[in-house]
Amino acid sequence: MKFAVLGAAAALPAAVAYNLPRQGPASSASSVPAAASGSSSTAAGVPGYPAGVSVASSFSALPSVSWSLPSTNPTALPLSDIVPGTITTQPQIGATTTFPAGTAPTDIPNAPPMPNWALLSPANYPPLDKPPPTDSPEVQQWIQDVQNSGIQIPNLEPTQPGGCPANPQFATDQSRCWWTCGGCVRDTDITTCPDKFTWGLTYDDGPALYTPNLLEYLDQNNLKSTMFVVGSRVISYPALLQEEYMAGHQICVHTWSHPSLTTLTNEEIIAEFGWSKKVIKDVLGVTPLYWRPPYGDIDDRVRAIGQAMGMEPVIWTRLSPLATFDTNDYNIAGGTVSVTQVLQNWQDIMGNVSSINTGFIVLEHDLFAQTVDLATGYILPAALAFQPKLDIKPVVECLNKPMQDAYLETNDNSTNPLPTGSNISPTFTSGAPGSAQASGNTTGGASTPQKTGGASSAASPLLAVGTAAAALLVACSVLL
């Protein structure tokens, strides 16, 4: 079996994920120095960067590697225009379609009507991109709900920021089943689709002002995806979330502020989940039953809290600690990965698809212009031209379940029973627990976090609910 080495994991940083540039995985291919970018973006007002500093100018030239795809979009943005190390490279746009309050999707039986998002008040939610306080009445109630769930939360000490190197004892503790260090998974973890050549399409960290470009391409090609949305982005762009939902895409939880969850206390994890679930319900009228851990940072304590709050974890396919289905696209905006490295990662992923006996799930993002440009111009066209033909669908449907099973209010519990506290035996995908860290990227493993799942990175838009004012996206990075 061919294992493509997509990168070695870096340690998770101690700071808030959303506000740090993320460190991408090292390329396994020989690198050829590329010409330094002539484009830059001023990062004034962006957390993590001094005012007036050009983001692109702070990064050295990135390696250029060879890649070959079966097809690209004829209208794709040239790779020379997809510039690493910039916050933005393309115009930002808001929702292209808005829906009257009370509208409900026609393809989800018994879906409740959507609320009027314009009536939401940001003052009723935590600050953007910051861990929510745990002393609010809402969080206190969620804590009590977890205690009343009957699910036993393992008495595991939180990890220290810094990933596997900073936690050598935890990294080798098989009983903890820490995915970041060694790739341990439980049977409750969703990392693949059961049917071969089926791709559970996912995008993390939105909704963002480049998401409409992705939605347009998906619609043109009759594709549906799973969107792991950050609560801070939802309250920033509620109309975009409604557009995703009404277009038939699956909406899932990706926490409120995109932290490394194993580093948090039980109460802090509950607050991250609770506010994310609440804001999605307040915008859509439905509550997601699936979630993805930022950086893929999950252990048995985090799993149990997610179960107690009625959610199942979705990570992404991982063949070994150094071979994960992670495009590492998120690190382009941070300036640590070149666009050709991401395309080579995708080529390597596709090289492994025929070698495994299941379908697969890939880590990608819709937060930045670069990630959307690569998805619509190169990755998705290549996937559509792949032979044998891929069956591309949202995660809930790749699990052979109907879309209504994705939400609490529409799930009749017949084909998708709610999570339980049953004890599941761990499986180590590397064959050796704690043998290595996960590859660096936006949603998985250990990496220097930024804001979102897996290799986190995030955005810090200026909040404008109701009038949908412009938002400022912040470069962040790590695995997811």
Q: Tens of pLDDT along 35-87? A: 222 233 333 222 332 333 334 444 557 888 888 999 999 999 999 999 999 87
- Indicate the DSSP class of residue 107: S
Q: How many other CB atoms sit within 10 Å of the CB of residue 309? A: 22
Helices (H), 296-336: 300-308, 331-334
Helix (H, G, I), strand (E, B) or coil at 283: helix
- Rounded to the nearest 10°, the torsion over CA 313, 318, 323, 327 is -50
Q: Is residue 298 part of a domain?
A: yes
Among 129, 173, 189, 204, the one annotated catalytic = 204
Closest CA to 156 of 249, 265, 259, 48: 265
446 located within any domain: no
- CATH number of the domain encompassing residue 323: 3.20.20.370
303 phi-psi bin (left φ>0, alpha ψ -120 to 50, beta other): alpha
Alpha helices, H only, 221-265: 231-236, 238-246
Give the tokens for residue 386: 């792949």
Residue 293: which of 263, 267, 326, 254 has the closest Cα?
254
Residue 7 lies in a domain: no
Listed range (10-24, 151-165, 170-184) with the worst mean pLDDT: 10-24
Sequence letter at residue 305: I
- pLDDT bin (cut points 50, 70, 90) of residue 419 is low
Question: Is the CB of residue 47 less than 8 Å from the CB of residue 80?
Answer: no
Which pLDDT band holds residue 447 (cuts at 50, 70, 90)?
A: very low
Residue 433 resides in a domain: no
Task: Print the domain residue range for 387.
Answer: 17-428
Residue 472 and residue 462 in contact, taking contact as beta carbons nearer than 8 Å: yes
Give whole-number Cα distances, 379 to 314, 342, 385, in Å. 21, 9, 10
Q: Is 365 a catalytic residue?
A: yes
| Amino acid residing at 294 | P
Average pLDDT over residues 284-289: 98
DSSP state of 379: I
Alpha carbon distance, N-terminus to C-terminus of the chain: 25
Q: Say what the pLDDT of residue 427 is.
A: 52
Give the single-character DSSP code of 326.
Answer: B
Crossing angle for the helix pair 266-284 and 238-246, to the nearest 10 degrees: 70
Q: Strand 312-313 and strand 226-229: pairing?
A: unpaired
Q: List, in order, residues 6 or more apart from 353 with CB less than 8 Å away.
A: 197, 360, 386, 390
- State how far the Cα of 275 lies from the Cα of 270, in Å rounded to an integer: 8
Is 236 inside a domain boundary? Answer: yes
Contacts of 203 (CB under 8 A, 6+ apart): 214, 225, 226, 227, 228, 364, 365, 366, 375
Per-residue pLDDT at 475 exceeds 80: no
pLDDT tens sequence across 107-124? 999 999 999 999 999 999
Among 273, 293, 266, CA closest to 154: 266
Residue 145 CB neighbours (<10 A):
14
| Helices 211-220 and 238-246, axial angle in degrees (round to 10) | 10
Confidence of residue 412 (pLDDT cuts 50, 70, 90): confident
Q: What is the mean pLDDT of residues 21-41?
A: 27
Domain assignment present for 286: yes
Q: Is the pLDDT of residue 194 over 80?
A: yes
Mean pLDDT of the chain: 79
CB contact at 8 A, 55 and 172? no
* Residue-wise burial string across 369-385, b where 16 or more C-beta atoms lie within 10 A, e elsewhere: bbbbbbbbbbbbbbbee
Please count the structural domains in the chain: 1
| Global pTM value | 0.80
CB atoms under 10 Å from CB of 397, counted, come to: 22
Within-domain flag for 170:
yes
DSSP one-letter string for 34-103 = PPPP----B-TT-TTS-TT-BTGGGSPPPEE-----S---TTPPPGGGS-TT-S-SS-----S----TT-
Rounded CA-CA distance 145/309 in Å is 8
If you average pLDDT over residues 282-299, what whole number do you get? Answer: 97
pLDDT attached to residue 210: 94
* Catalytic option among 249, 254, 258, 365: 365
Would you say residue 445 lies in a domain?
A: no
With a cut of 90, say whether residue 252 has pLDDT above it: yes
Is 258 noted as a catalytic residue in this protein? no
- Across the range 328-347, mean pLDDT stands at 95
**Angle, vertex CA 79, rays to CA 76 and CA 80, nearest 5:** 125
